Structure 1
Amino acid sequence: MKKQLTNIILAGAAPDTGNHGVTALALSLLSALDKRGLQQATVLDNGGSMRLGELLSLHYRTLALKPGKRFYQPNNMHQVRMRQMFGLPSPILSAIKNADAVLDVSGGDSFTDMYGPARFEQITVPKLMAIDSGVPLILLPQTYGPYQFTKTRRIARKILKAAHLAYARDEDSYKNLQTLLGDDFDPQKHRLGVDLAFGLPCVGGDNTPDDLPVGINVSGLLWHDAAAATEQFGLKADYKQSLIQFALKILEDTNKDILLVPHVRPSGGSECDLVASRAFKLAIPSEYRDRIQIEENANSPELLKGTISNTCWFTGARMHATIAALSTGVPVCNMAYSMKAKGVFASCGQQEQVFDLRKNSTDQVVSALFASFNQRRKTKAELAFSLSNAKRVWVQQMNDISYALDEPKEKLEVVYA
Structure 2
Amino acid sequence: MRVLTLWADDLSSNLGVRALARGTAALVERAHPGAEVVALHYGSGTAPTPVGDWRRLLRARLDPREPLVEWLRGFDLAVDTRAGDSFADIYGLRRLTTQSMLAELATQAGTPVVLGPQTIGPFGTRRARTLGRWSMRRAACVMARDSTSAEYAARLGRPVDVLSTDVVFALPRPQVERTRDVVLNVSGLLWAPNPHVDHAGYRTTVLGVARGLLAAGRRVTLLAHVLDSPVADNDVPAVHEVAALLDEPGVDVVVPEDLDDVRRVTASAALVVGSRMHACLNALSTGTPAVPLAYSRKFDPLLSDLGWPHTIDLRRAADPVAATLTLADKDLTADVDAVLDRAATLLAPAVAAVRALP
TM-score by length of 2: 0.93
Match of 2:35 in 1: 39
- The one-letter code of the counterpart of 1:283 is L
Asked whether 1:246 is paired with 2:201, we answer no
Counterpart CA distance in 2 for 1:314 and 1:83 is 44
Which string of whole-angstrom CA distances, capped at 9 and with x for unpartnered residues, describes residues 310-358 of structure 1?
11111111011110111122111111111100011113211x3111111
Code of the aligned partner of 2:224: P
In structure 1, how many angstroms separate the alpha carbons of the residues matched to 2:274 and 2:12? Answer: 20
1:187-206, aligned counterparts within 5 Å? 190-203=161-174, 205-206=175-176
Following superposition, the deviation at residue 97 of structure 1 comes to 1.3
1:365 is aligned to 320
Q: 2:51 matched to which residue of 1?
A: 66
Name which one, 1 or 2, has greater alpha-carbon Rg. 1
- Superposed, 1:161-310 pairs within 5 Å as 161-181=137-157, 184-185=158-159, 190-203=161-174, 205-206=175-176, 208=178, 212-223=180-191, 225=192, 228-229=193-194, 232-235=195-198, 238-254=201-217, 256-267=218-229, 269-284=231-246, 286=247, 289-296=248-255, 298-310=256-268
CA RMSD of the aligned region, Å?
A: 2.1
Q: Percent identity?
A: 24
Structure 2 CA distance for partners of 1:335 and 1:393, relative to 1, 3 Å:
same
In the other structure, the counterpart of 1:94 is: 70
Unaligned runs of 5+ in 2: none
Q: Does 1:384 align with 2:337?
A: yes
**Per-residue deviation, 1:123:** 2.3
Measure the CA separation in 1 of the matches of 2:254 and 2:128: 39
Q: Residues 9 and 101 of structure 1 are in contact (CA less than 8 Å); yes or no, is this contact kept in structure 2?
A: yes
Residue 55 of structure 1 is matched in structure 2 by none
Residues 162 and 47 from structure 1, CA distance in 2 versus in 1: closer, same or farther, beyond 3 angstroms?
A: closer
Deviation track 1:50-100 (CA, whole Å, cap 9, x = no partner) reads: 5xxxxxxxxxxx6563325xxxxxxxx52232231x251433211211211
SS at match of 2:273: strand
Hey, which bits of structure 1, 4+ residues long, moved more than 4 A?
Answer: 234-237
Contact 2:57/2:98, CA 8 A, preserved across alignment: no
Q: Which moved more, 1:212-221 or 1:115-124?
A: 115-124
**Is 1:78 matched up with 2:49?**
no
The change in CA–CA distance for 1:90 and 1:404 in structure 2 (over 3 A counts) is: same
**3-state DSSP of counterpart to 1:67:** coil
Q: For residues 306 and 199 of structure 1, what CA distance do their matches in structure 2 show?
A: 16
* Residue in structure 2 matched with residue 414 of structure 1 by the alignment: none
> What residue in structure 2 maps to residue 106 of structure 1?
82
State the shift of 1:168 in Å: 0.2
Q: Distance in 1 between matches of 2:182 and 2:99?
A: 35
Contact kept, 8 Å, 2:184 with 2:220, in 1: the verdict is yes
The alignment status of 1:345 with 2:323, answered yes or no, reads no
2:10 to 12, 15, 21: 15
Counterparts of 1:48 and 1:257, CA distance in 2: 38
